[in-house]
Amino acid sequence: MAEATSGDVARVHNAVLQLGRELGRVQQLQVGLSQTVDQVASTQDMTRSELTQLRALFDEYVRRDELAKNLQLAQTRIIAVRGELETSYGHYATVRRLATGTLQAMDTGTVTQDAMQAASEELMITTPRYWLAPALVGLAAWIRDDRTLAERALAEALRRDNDKTSLFFALVLRRHGRDDATARWLRQYVARQDPAALSHEFTVVLDAVATGTLGPVAKPSVMEHMSGWYQRLTADPETVAAQVTRWRQLIDGMRTPVDPRFTVLPAVSPTWPVLKAVYEGATVHGRAEAHFRGIFERPLRPAPGLQERVDAILDNLVRSYDEEETPHRKREAELQAIIDADGDRTAATAAVAAEAAVHEESVDFLTLLTNAGFFPDRVGASDGTQRMAIALAKDWVVAADGQLEAQNVAAFPTSVELTVEGWTGRIDGDATEQSLVDSLTIHIDAETDNALSKIKLDGGPLLGLIVGGVALLLAVITFVQGGSGFGVFLLLVALGLGGFGAYSYSQLEPRREHVRRLGEQRKATGAAQVRGAVAEVLDWRTAWDREVDRAEAFRRYMNALVRDSFIASAPDRSREVVA
């Protein structure tokens, strides 16, 4: 029995030595694993940052791809729309060119009357429904002194478009110094107008007023009508409110993008979208003043003579599109807005909405002034007309800018929220940079302490130590009672479980140290972000104050404009009283 026991002990001793060697290797593996875990944690932090950047790059790629597709589609479709315009209405352009050519031929006498008559009659046949074709036939007949044909052609032109025909002949007669006849045509034209529903060609009348082209007989009557319309419409609060609203939209469209140097706030502040919108909304005052100063302070071209002024206004009249072209022109404008916005449909929609009144078939007199003031190229208004229209609309511009300023100031956030490392804070009048950093530090320390409190011997390792202790006790009892085989087994179990528990206990401190290092890294990164956010908020506030301060200067500039300063005298009169 003693020999058996001695042999069993020897085997146990060898097994224990082997187990010790195995535990040593396991410990080495655990140390390597711990180092690997540290590396993985560091790599995970780096990967998370890279994934955030990758997500931003991917979102930007998706947006750019969408913009590129929108742009390409708009470019393709606008070609089709313009092709349809050329196919359906391209022959109108031939008639328009003939109108200018006929007037110039009358000046130079280089074209025979028969040639002008033949050309105009041919276009009369090839362009049915277009008012300008019979008007040119009538003009050619008038030159040839064919009264009967002139009256028939004039009647047909008036039937097709009374207003444009009246303006056309008024301007032609004014071009040749027939002031009384010009006044009769213009009185007939103005008497037919509804100031609440004026057609696009009334811009021609504005041009004639601004450039002094109407002449001494017609101008007082037209100015009287326009002054009456202006006073009547501006007495209606709803009509004025509509113009103020429109100017507010137009001015608000002059926003400047926020400075790209702000990089921390977009990353850590949920309030950033509000800050961005408020800053960009404040930039409109300076941009608007620069825009209007550019209009009024740029050098004007030398004032042309009467014939040149009339020709320029006639060009605007005959080249403006007719109502039947309106759907195609609207679609063309929508597609062009997408192209101008580089594929950004949201920006294009806002631009089209601001220009919607330009494409309406009829507008009120005040809207016509706004169109001429802000979209002179779209409505065919000259520089002088644009200046006069803006001077007349200055009260709406000032009111619109005041509303934008009040709206912007009201939207100013009283505090800026921050979200850093799971901590939320607020930059306001009571917070200081250090108090925010201290609050963040306390938050991260609390999370670190909570994580440390969870690193303890529990679960499997604790159970291993308990079971190992029980197995060791049972092994001793078994050996005492002479059960060597089962005792060896229990001893091996006790050593294995005890070694596992002991090793797990030895790894608690390295794990705690890793958590502490992560906590310190989080505090350093978070504090840098908080300090950067506080600095950017101060810079943002300074930039916002600077932009808002420009509102008052802009309104003073607009209030100083005087309408009559932008109404020219007739070029064929040395003196003329402005009505």
Quote the pLDDT of residue 247: 94
In the chain, what's the furthest Cα-to-Cα distance? Answer: 152
**43 to each of 219, 447, 508, how far by Cα in Å?**
81, 21, 22
On whether the CB atoms of residues 161 and 155 are closer than 8 A, the answer is no
Q: Evaluate the CA torsion angle 158, 159, 161, 163 in order and state its sign.
A: positive
Contact (Cβ atoms closer than 8 angstroms) between residue 429 and residue 534: no
135 neighbors 157 (Cβ within 8 angstroms): yes
Taking residue 28's Cβ as centre, other Cβ atoms within 10 Å add up to: 10
Residue 104 and residue 111: Cα distance in Å, rounded? 10
DSSP 40: H
For residues 414 and 504, the answer to whether their CB atoms sit within 8 Å is: no
Other CB atoms closer than 10 Å to residue 435's CB: what's the count?
A: 11
Which pLDDT score, from 0 to 100, does residue 76 have? 83
CA geometry: angle at 258 spanning 353 and 551, to 5°? Answer: 70
What's the CA gap between 161 and 168, in Å, rounded? 11
**CA 539 from centroid of its chain's CA atoms:** 23
Distance of CA 407 to the CA centre of its chain: 18
CA dihedral 420, 424, 428, 429 (to 10 degrees): -110
CB 575 within 8 A of CB 569: yes
DSSP label at residue 110: -
Write out the chain's pLDDT in tens, 579 residues.
Answer: 444 455 555 555 565 556 556 655 655 665 566 556 556 655 665 666 566 667 666 777 777 888 888 888 878 887 877 776 665 555 566 776 777 777 777 766 667 777 777 877 777 777 777 888 888 888 888 888 888 888 998 899 899 888 888 888 888 888 888 888 888 888 888 888 889 888 877 888 888 888 778 878 888 888 888 889 999 999 999 999 999 999 999 999 899 988 888 889 988 999 999 999 999 999 999 999 999 999 998 876 655 666 777 777 777 776 665 566 667 667 777 788 788 877 777 777 766 665 555 556 678 889 888 988 888 887 778 888 888 899 999 999 999 999 999 999 999 998 999 988 888 899 988 888 899 989 989 988 888 888 777 666 555 555 555 655 666 666 666 656 666 666 666 566 666 666 666 666 666 667 778 878 888 888 888 889 899 999 999 999 999 999 999 999 999 999 999 877 777 666 665 444 333
**What is the rounded CA–CA span in Å between residue 260 and residue 293?**
27
Q: Is 168 helix (H, G, I), strand (E, B) or coil?
A: helix
Q: What's the DSSP call for residue 569?
A: P
Alpha helices, H only, 418-507 = 433-453, 459-480, 484-506
**Would you state the pLDDT for residue 322?**
59
Residue written as tokens 């028939």? 152
CA distances from 90 to 82, 94, 97 (A): 10, 7, 11
Q: What is the pLDDT at residue 2?
A: 42
Please state the φ and ψ torsions of residue 577, each to the nearest 5 degrees. Answer: -80, 130
- Rounded Cα gap, residues 316 and 295, in angstroms: 20
Residue from 535, 516, 512 nearest 437 by CA: 535
Q: Which two tokens stand for residue 294?
A: 């550019």
Do 174 and 205 touch, CB atoms closer than 8 A?
A: no
Q: Return d(Cα 168, Cα 550) in angstroms, integer.
A: 45
What is residue 4's predicted lDDT score, i.e. its pLDDT? Answer: 44
Distance CA 259, CA 394 (A): 31
Alpha helix (H) residue ranges in 161-236: 162-175, 179-191, 202-210, 218-234
**Please, where are the H alpha helices in 109-161?**
113-126, 132-143, 147-160
The Cα angle at residue 82 between residues 77 and 83, in degrees rounded to 5: 95
Q: According to the model, what pLDDT value does residue 314 have? A: 77
The count of residues in the chain is 579
Do the Cβ atoms of 477 and 438 come closer than 8 Å? no
CB 561, CB 297: distance < 8 Å: no
Give percent helix, percent strand, percent coil of the chain, each to the nearest 5: 80, 0, 20
Task: Sort 560 into a burial class: Cβ within 10 Å, 0-12 / 13-18 / 19+.
Answer: exposed
Give kind and range of the element (H or E) at residue 418. Answer: strand 416-420
Closest CA to 354 of 280, 253, 217, 485: 253
What is the pLDDT at residue 411? 93
